[in-house]
Structure 1
Amino acid sequence: MKKTTVPNTLSLKNSALNPIVLLILFGVLLYACGPEEPVRIGLITGTVGHMADVEITARYAIQMAVDQCNETGGIHGRRVELLVRDKQQNADDAVKDVKELIAQRIDAMIGPLSSSIALSILPSLNQYRMTTVSPTAISPLLAGRDDYFFRVCPSSKDLSRLTAEYQIRLGNMRHIAIAYHGGNPSFCEPFIEAFQNKFHADGGTIVTKIAFIPNEGRSFFQVAEALLREEPDSILIIANAMDSAILCQQIRKINSLVKITISSWGATQRFIELGGRAIEGVTLATAMDLNSPLPRYQEFRKNFLERYQHEPNIFNFYPYNAAQVVLTALKAQKKGQSLKAVLLSIGKFDGLQGKIIFDAYGDVKKAAFMRIIRDQKFAEPE
């Protein structure tokens, strides 16, 4: 009798499913072996308003630092991703942007550059324990706080005191008129207060203080007229590079001899480009040496110049330092450790021009010095 072979339907069914099962397993393995989640850094910046020119160029320096990190393997093999939010100089929008970035599970933040925006987002940073490192928010109102805000720049109080000391010591600025940008009171008002206290203590007199906002009310020429009406021997301008340069030009149309000094806010190459001959002899206090021969700075300068075709300034210098501080801390961070704790435990970071040393409140104190515009350059005073 012929033997009948009954097919093993279970085996056939299993063999039919094997390719599908294998495909699923293969996909799971691929996912498991795939690239890790990127390290996300949020950046609060702005492309409109009175800080737009410096904030756009600051972003270039931060992106360069991130790209250099990725080119050398990222952070423990994980790629670094920069998530940018444009606050447009609006405090309410900045708070929303911070919360949105936190919802996207960022690991750290850089920014903001503006002191007023930094003050507005501070409660949210503390609420969510999100650490940020600001390049240039230098208002003294941000100093001495046990919070999640760090900065790599000196306080404006140190710079304004140095400005006052220098002008009094020089002897040709005794009766000064002050013009300041009314749209940034958190920077301007503490700067004026510190300057005024030191200037008065050393025998100087402030003859007038005028707040201005471009395109709102008085023209630059009218501001210049109002400043010179009190017959000062000198003028202090606290504003961004463009407004400082334009105001210098209008002052020179009326008076070619009055001495002019500006705040570090305006100390960029744009100030020189726009000011022309009108800014020759203008002085300012800064904590960055544009002519530093230090190898670390010169390498940064070379790379920045090749990449963006213009010389770096303070608003590239400090943002690059801030990015390097954040990247260094993220590399050193251990599981379960807050970034704030890492920053404070390291305490001392390599900067482009020496060490960046944080105190217990995330503030730095760095020596500042005076510069003068001579032959279209930031030069040492004689």
Structure 2
Amino acid sequence: MRTIMTAALCGLFATAVAAQTPVAGQPIRIAGALDLSGAAADVGKDALAGAQYAVDELNSKGGVQGRKLELVFRDSASNPQKGVSQATALLQEGAAMLLSPQSSAGALAVSKVVAAKMKVPTCVGTSIADDITMKDFNPYVYSVTPTSYMEGRAQAARFAKLPYKRYALLSADYAGGRAGVNRFKEFLKELNPQVEFVVEEYPKFGATDYTASINKILAAKPDYVFSILFGSDLLTFSRQAGSLGFFKQINNRFISLYDFNTLKAMGGSAPIGTEGWQRAPANQFRKGDPEAKAFVDGYKAKTGSYPSDWTVMTYDCVTTWAQAANLAKSTDAASVMRAIESGEFNSPRGKYRFAKYDHQADVPVYFGKVAQDKDLGQPVLAIEDTIAGSVSRPSEAAVQKTRRTE
């Protein structure tokens, strides 16, 4: 019986691998099980826009290895189990590269269950869960977003220089958020043993009422509020906090992940003067490298809006794979992954490389203050500091230590 079952499984994956191998003359498929509804829908829709723009841009330049690309996707509804089944089906239908779901739970599940078994290059473009590249690493996954480890190190390095001692911590209750909070605590305590964490609040992902968390934080009288809320969660929280005078009561000593589209949605209610970090700030790109500015302006001209962090990073997922395929002169999965391990890749965020031991890109983390931008006609995060990925990324020893704890 075991022999029969093993043979059947081998047959299934052999069929899947055969389906993934592009046929000459046919478009190369880029597939994605994306969170287009459910709790991570706002991020998933931005990610889809970035992937589509990348495919269109590459096709306008002749595609990859002389062949056009085709983007195929399904809505995982922010459900990890659904994401696994959809990713599996998409690869069985034929795809050379896979975009993981946007939620951390979905990205972890697809990495462990699908990418590892079906051996297709799979890109993490939004999740910060460091288990993906550290403890649960598999050689067919690569990440272009800074992980909770990287962001935690960058944030701690910044706050260790500031005079705050008593911190309140706030995050939605999901794997990536808790990992981010824990990394911040760990690294900040190492750099400044005198700090205290006076209250920790983990409201439900997608919560609609933050009153209890707001009151608990104010009652604890922190010197500073460190938050990992983002997207619709941050938007809802900020509106409720603003109406309750929260930001005024804490003297704007608050930081969170302010992506471009969330600030646009906040409009006049954005908490001007609070701090934040971003992973890919479009307003900053317009001031720097000409190619980065061309990307932002081109995206705006085509879609009518500026790209969010999620849009930029998923765009990078696709273009990194394309650059690797061109370096390898092949879309063969193993060849592409070897090129990812050895190459240097262009992005609106500048050039980056991946380490062989974790396939994590050494991408930066950006810090600044919320301000109105008259040119763009919306609030933005005015960037004041950039921490390079080469500074914040984990060493090989740190990564291997997590794997030995299994």
TM-score, normalised to structure 1, is: 0.82
1:330 equivalent in structure 2:
325
Deviation at 1:298, TM superposition (A): 0.6
2:224 equivalent in structure 1:
234
Q: Helix, strand or coil for the counterpart of 1:338? A: helix
1:209 aligns with 2:200: yes
Deviation at 1:275, TM superposition (A): 6.1
2:402 equivalent in structure 1:
none
1:36 equivalent in structure 2:
25
Unmatched 5+ residue regions in structure 2? 1-22, 373-378, 386-406
Deviation at 1:166, TM superposition (A): 2.4
| Superimposed CA distance per residue, residues 144-170 of structure 1 (whole angstroms, 9 cap, x where no aligned partner) | 324211011222222123223323423
Runs ≥4 residues deviating over 4 A: none
Q: Residues 367 and 82 from structure 1, CA distance in 2 versus in 1: closer, same or farther, beyond 3 angstroms?
A: closer
2:86 equivalent in structure 1:
97
- Paired amino acid for 1:370: F
- Paired amino acid for 1:237: S
Deviation at 1:325, TM superposition (A): 0.8
1:344 aligns with 2:337: no
Q: Is the 8 A contact 2:30 2:70 kept in 1?
A: yes
TM-score, normalised to structure 2, is: 0.78
**Selected match of 2:306 from 307, 311, 336:** 311
1:177 aligns with 2:177: no
Q: Helix, strand or coil for the counterpart of 1:246? A: helix
2:8 equivalent in structure 1:
none
Q: Is the 8 A contact 2:156 2:188 kept in 1?
A: yes
Unmatched 5+ residue regions in structure 1? 1-33
Structure 1 stretch displaced more, 113-122 or 84-93: 113-122
**Selected match of 1:295 from 277, 290, 296:** 290
Q: Helix, strand or coil for the counterpart of 2:126? A: coil
In 2, the alpha carbon distance for the partners of 1:195 and 1:235 equals: 12
Q: Is the 8 A contact 1:333 1:342 kept in 2?
A: no
In 1, the alpha carbon distance for the partners of 2:201 and 2:117 equals: 37
2:211 equivalent in structure 1:
221
Give the root-mean-square deviation of aligned CA atoms.
Answer: 2.4
Q: Residues 234 and 278 from structure 1, CA distance in 2 versus in 1: closer, same or farther, beyond 3 angstroms?
A: farther
Q: Is the 8 A contact 1:245 1:275 kept in 2?
A: no
Q: Is the 8 A contact 1:159 1:286 kept in 2?
A: no
1:137 equivalent in structure 2:
127
1:154 aligns with 2:143: no
For the pair shown, which has the larger CA radius of gyration, 1 or 2? 1
Percent of matched pairs sharing the same residue:
19
Deviation at 1:80, TM superposition (A): 0.9
| Superimposed CA distance per residue, residues 166-189 of structure 1 (whole angstroms, 9 cap, x where no aligned partner) | 234232x3212122111x2x2011
Q: Residues 373 and 349 from structure 1, CA distance in 2 versus in 1: closer, same or farther, beyond 3 angstroms?
A: same
1:27 equivalent in structure 2:
none
1:353 equivalent in structure 2:
349
Q: Is the 8 A contact 2:96 2:333 kept in 1?
A: no
In 1, the alpha carbon distance for the partners of 2:218 and 2:335 equals: 50
Q: Helix, strand or coil for the counterpart of 1:370? A: strand
Q: Helix, strand or coil for the counterpart of 1:279? A: coil
